[in-house]
Structure 1
Amino acid sequence: MATMQLKKYFSKLSLRHTIAMASVVAAMLLVLASCRKKFDEPPYNSGDPDITTNATIASVKKTFDNSGSASYTFTDSLVFSAIVISSDSAGNVYKTLYVEDSTGGMNIQIDASNLYSNYPKGMRVFVKMAGLSMNKYGGSYEIGQGFSSSRLVRIASSVMSDYIIAGSTGHVVAPVVFDKISSITDAYQSMLIQINDVQFSDVNAYYADSTKTIGYVSNTVTNCSGESAVVYTSSYASFAGTKVASGKGPITAIYVPYNTTKELILNDLNATASMTGARCGASTGTISSIADLRASYTGSDVNYSSGSVSGVVISNSANESTGNIRIVQEDNAAGILVYLPSSTTTYSVGDKVTINLAGSTLTSYNGELELKSATLTVTGTGATVTPLVTTLAAIVKAGSSWSTRLVSVPSLTVSTSST
């Protein structure tokens, strides 16, 4: 009897243990499932928060303008929503969030890096203005948090999510398209714009200074009508050491005017990826020799987007003005003056060189054809050129058409005068 009761007791105990263990296991699975669900959640909200907006970028600017103050802090509970159009992932946009709604664009200063991880391009954000401040820097509206010595202070990273609330992602903002640079006004500040048919003035320039000796570099872009804007690039950008686009085409950028200068900020190199067309006034003929190069000039500047010619150096800055390098075809049929004032390379007489024409311009300077902004590659040394044996009368008759050819005039007498 005692044995049967003992068995019954242990049977009940085992059942209770089984139920308890099952409960523990279920709880653990629930915890693990909860952890897994939280870990697998997307980093951004899939929808917008339940926030009511009562303002726009335009109305916020108007409130500032009507305040009559150059340094204004908002007290009213104004809230606007806008789409992020900037990204600091390439390092060119620094501690700034550019946002845009249907009424305009805004520059929000935030004391944080890697903003793209919290507010990626294409995200809708909700900006609560109460407690935030505004001023104008170089004519552009900026939002921050308070002032120090009349200068706007960036919003602290510890509270940025209190003022700028993340919303839905994947929104696409189409740039405002301009065919004329002169048509861009301050009304488009801090907005994404596209300027068609522009080219960098100096195709041998780099976007910025990769050595970081200087913090920012300005490169001018122009259209074929001579209108211009400035591409302003940080030397900390990942593409600082990249040469600017060599062709003509559309550029997409954030428009940030500074006083009277039309400045453009690039998010990344996709902004200039389509600048591959023929440059303004580009030569359409085939250039295969220095003679072809000279023949392509018909009275106005000629720009080259591609091509190369070869020749031999017959004179350099050792006996001419700094930057002057004279190069002739190996057969001495034609020559050209190449002007490279910023070159740190010394080219010696007898060097065989390839003249890379991409981005160069053929112009007339004091009646002589001159090639600017070309690049030279030395392919050999010690080359000799047979001079053209001629007379002074023939040289005078040929005029500038023989410019930079190597000539020899036998039995020439040189006299000097004291007057």
Structure 2
Amino acid sequence: MNKDFKIIYMKTASKYFLIFGLFALIFGSCVKQEFDEPEKTNVPVGTVLTIGDLRQMVIDSIQNVVGATNYRFTSDYTVYATVTMDENRAGNLYKSAYIQDSTGAINLQFLNSGSLYEGDSIRLNLKGKLLLEYNGAYQIDSIDIEKDIVKIATNKSVTPKTVTIADLMTGAYEAQLIKLEDVQFILGDLGKTYADFESNTNRTIEDCDENQVLVRTSGWATFYSETLPSGKGSVIAVASVYGSDIQLYIRSTDEVSMDSARCGGGSGIVYLNKDYTDANVFSGGWIQKQVVGTISWSIYGSTNPAASISNYTGGSNQACENWLISPVINLASATTPILSFRNCSGYTGDDLTVWVSTNYDGTSAPSSATWTQLSFTLAVADPYWSWTDSGPVNLTPYKNATTYIAFKYTGTSSNGKTWEIDDIIVQEQ
């Protein structure tokens, strides 16, 4: 090969390599563009309805017709909407989602789980679907995600409507994405988690006017075990209804921002919380000291369990002195700590007393330490079992790294009350 031919060959080859490279880039880009587009399916369109139309159909076809419980679509109708909450993001729904358009919102109930996500813009075919009202909530039932829904686009966020708790109580925002500002979880919920394990759980949010609304969380949600925030702030959620209760579904704790001072001031920091929902008197480090007799604290009730004690056993009263003592409470950095709890009683006998110590060692007999009796609002025995709030018990004089609270129960061989206690909280005022 001579030198001139070699040069011409190399130039020609380079030109073709460049052309082939450009074709590959162009066609490669085209293929990627088609791959990124939402999947198309042969789902019919038919007559287009808005969510507002659907909600009106519930009123016209169900609520106003005696004996009607649902409406089934028998021909092709379609609704276009955006998914505001799905079952995949945090597991706070199951085979369910919420969608919204400019006219309203509604809940979807699925036959199967699937790849439908918050922010998906969808077209839903309604043929064969049930439109119904379930305990006040409007729903579309019997949806097959793969067969009935077409994704048009993704990542289409819906801006939540900023409302008040009073607004929610009107029912006008059922199924819609909303935002509450200047709200907080109630004192009785502080220190608790969003839900109990594998159990749907209600917590309560309030504003500074003491208007309240429920927050309902699945025990299978990814955030169920996170502790509720103790401050005041905002929350984004989907508003729903069950019977007479308005309730909120949180999509993620990233949308719960409560780190400002609570209504009336204070941080709401919780140092101790014992509510017996685990049906265990002694979990969390609680102990009892049976100074006289063998009478013991136990759990009473299954729906709303509480700690209970009675000296009536085997057909007679037993003389006893029992101390139920908390785990150590570190109040060294506290500002204005308070104790609160609920109590109720029945029958006749000595009153329950409450004590505080800063030099108890956590294991020895109560007599080994100095205890100070605390004043609180005591339940009365008549009427029996009338739950009474203790009121805030000031613990400021006992701010110490080794503070203990104790409930002292006594009875004689001739009489003795039955006492129950619940919702024991030590927190900042």
Q: Give the structure-2-normalised TM-score.
A: 0.56
Alignment of 1:14-413 (within 5 A): 37=31, 41-42=35-36, 44=38, 54-67=48-61, 68=65, 69-88=68-87, 89-115=89-115, 119-144=116-141, 154-157=142-145, 159-160=147-148, 164-201=149-186, 202-210=189-197, 212=198, 214=199, 216-272=200-256, 274-283=257-266, 304-306=267-269, 353-355=329-331
- 1:222, CA displacement in angstroms? 1.4
Take 1:360 and 1:200, find their aligned partners in 2: how far apart are those partners? 18
Task: Give the 3 Å change call, closer, same or farther, for CA 227–50 of structure 1 in structure 2.
Answer: same
Asked whether the 8 Å contact 2:240–2:249 carries over to 1, the reply is: yes
For 1:179, give the aligned amino acid. Answer: T
5+ residue gaps, structure 1: 1-25, 145-153, 284-303, 310-314, 324-340, 389-399, 406-419
Say if 1:113 and 1:318 are closer, same or farther in 2 by CA, change over 3 A. farther
Aligned length: 303
Shift in Å, 1:184: 4.0
**Quick one: higher RCO (CA 8 Å, sep 6+), 1 or 2?**
2
Q: Is contact 1:109-1:143 (8 Å) kept?
A: yes
2:54 aligned partner, one-letter code: V
**Which one has the largest radius of gyration?**
1
Structure 1, residues 71-127: CA drift from partner, whole Å, max 9, x if none?
Answer: 211235332211110122211111112100111101111122244xxx221121112
Letter in 1 for 2:263: C
Q: Could you tell me the TM-score, scaled by structure 1's length?
A: 0.58
Say what the alpha-carbon RMSD is for the aligned residues: 5.0
Maintained 8 Å contact 1:204/1:359: no
Deviations 1:116-146 (A, max 9, x none): xxx22112111222321111011111101xx
Aligned-pair identity in percent equals 25
Contact residue 207 and residue 219 of structure 1 kept, 8 A? yes
**Alignment partner, residue 401 of structure 2:** none
Change (3 A) 1:225 1:361: farther
Equivalent residue number for residue 286 of structure 1: none
Distance 1:110 1:66, change over 3 A: same
Q: Tell me which protein shows more strand as a share of its residues.
A: 2
Change (3 A) 1:342 1:280: farther
Counterpart of 2:119, as a letter, is: G
Closer/same/farther in 2, CA of residues 227 and 379 from structure 1, 3 Å limit = farther
Contact 1:305 1:358 in 2 (8 A): no
- CA spacing shift, 1:357–1:236, aligned 2, 3 Å: farther
Given the superposition, is the C-alpha separation of residues 352 and 252 from structure 1 closer, same or farther in structure 2, using an over 3 Å criterion?
A: closer
> Which structure 2 segments of 5+ residues have no match?
1-19, 273-286, 299-305, 309-321, 344-353, 373-392, 399-429
Give SS of 2:330's match: strand
